[in-house]
Amino acid sequence: IQLTQSPSLLSASVGDRVTLSCKGSQNINNYLAWYQQKLGEAPKLLIYNTNSLQTGIPSRFSGSGSGTDYTLTISSLQPEDVATYFCYQYNNGFTFGSGTKLEIK
């Protein structure tokens, strides 16, 4: 299964509601996770099974979707959210999206 993330680069202001998209080439059956990767760090799991928030992750992060289309939403963008965000499917093999780089405007 191939994953296509959009946009590849997103610039937004502090406090904005931000939406990142991930589209699969086949049905993912909700086996979709999101990771945040800051410069020089390992990826951090934010969301798994489409909409389950990983322990310790702020509630401003949420996930939704079904079938082939999934979304990560940040309800109020914070400066510390600057990072690259990857989606990942584990329904059929294991594949990652190409990432969305999020920056502050």
Partner 1 sequence: QVKLLQSGAALVKPGASVKMSCKASGYTFTDYWVSWVKQSHGKSLEWIGEIYPNSGATNFNEKFKGKATLTVDKSTSTAYMELSRLTSEDSAIYYCTDTTPFAYWGQGTLVTVSS
Q: Is 45 in the site for partner 1 (CB under 8 A)?
A: yes
Q: Mask 3-42, x = binds partner 1 (CB under 8 A)?
A: ----------------------------x-x-x------x
Structure tokens at 80: 């510390």
Q: Is 63 in the site for partner 1 (CB under 8 A)?
A: no
For partner 1, the closer CB: 16 or 27:
27
> Smallest Cα–Cα separation from 34: which of 14, 62, 76, 69?
62
CB 85 within 8 Å of CB 6: no
Q: Is 48 in the site for partner 1 (CB under 8 A)?
A: yes
Residue 40 CB coordination number (10 Å): 5
Q: Which of 16, 90, 92, 104 binds partner 1 (CB under 8 A)?
A: 90
Please report, for residues 2, 30, 59, 61, the alpha-carbon distance to residue 75 in angstroms, rounded to integers and kept in the order given.
Answer: 27, 21, 9, 7
Q: Which residue ranges make up the site for partner 1 (CB under 8 A)?
A: 31, 33, 35, 42-45, 48-49, 54, 86, 88, 90, 93-99
